[in-house]
Amino acid sequence: MSVSTSPPLIQLQQLGLHYTLGSSRIDVLRDVTVNVAAGQSVAVAGPSGSGKTSLLLLLAGLERPAAGRVLLEGTDLAGLGRDALADLRRDRVGIIFQSFHLLPSLTALDNVALPLQIAGRPQAFEAARQMLQRVGLGERLHHHPSQMSGGEQQRVAIARALVHRPRLLLADEPTGNLDDTTGALVRDLLFELQRESGATLVLVTHDLAFAARCDRVLYLREAQLHEGLHERAPARPAEDRPHGPAQPHPPQAGHALPV
């Protein structure tokens, strides 16, 4: 059997991030080293203000680290300028923001079709319509964000993030505004679409049951990422994983976490 030598989809190497506001400094991440294999789903949990959203912004190249490196499919984001980062997001990353970030002047359909149009993909509106139907918004295609409930806007944001079948899906509390029934539906849909497309999912959530459905859970606290609340056995044998066999023992230093 041949072993693929593809790099992990995500590599965080000695990553550091802090914000300074006046004379105070907030250390958000300190010397964090983590790999995530292609196709893996990883939940990131942690207290409010611990840096979960900041971590997603780093992964999307929307924030620059103070130290260390972020590599996506082996590409160091530090080596990319603004335009190249925008291209990378357009082609390979889907982001569901905590606060939706829908364009208020566009309808639901236009919001979802936009990333496909920018990428010059054919049949943008048909694909957008199908994705909106899948999130239960087939009857809201022509509503603007101000004419939709919070949960409906969140589902538009989910459809927009998934419509171009990204390799990496970053989701920040994607079901935080949904009622139990719609939340359950959207959670199922998210995993279904992730499995279907083979995307790598990084999911920020406070919902431990939701987190537990991921292959792996990381817990962010005091600027460190810890492995756990639980870890499930990989769905595929280790030797089939794109980055090679799993490490037999977790490294002891540098907070390197086994994939």
Residues 22-41 that bind ligand ATP (CB under 6 A): 26, 28
Closer residue to ligand ATP (CB): 87 or 227: 227
CA dist., res. 151 & res. 75, Å (int): 35
Specify the stretch interacting with ligand ATP by CB under 6 A; choose among 29-37, 42-50, 112-120, 161-169: 42-50
Q: Is 53 in the site for ligand ATP (CB under 6 A)?
A: yes
Q: Which amino acid is at 174?
A: P
- The pair of three-digit structure tokens given for residue 84, joined into one six-digit string: 């190249």
User: Any residues with CB less than 8 A from the CB of 75 and at least 6 apart, and which?
Assistant: 88
- Residue at token pair 């840096």: 51
Q: How far is the CB of 192 from ligand ATP (least distance, A)?
A: 26
Q: How far is the CB of 97 from ligand ATP (least distance, A)?
A: 11
State whether residue 135 is helix, strand or coil.
coil
Binding track over 96-135 against ligand ATP, x by CB under 6 A: --x-------------------------------------
Residues 194-213 that bind ligand ATP (CB under 6 A): none
Q: Alpha helix (H) ranges present in the chain?
A: 52-59, 82-92, 108-118, 124-134, 150-162, 180-197, 208-211
Contacts with ligand ATP by CB under 6 A lie at 19, 21, 26, 28, 46, 48-54, 98
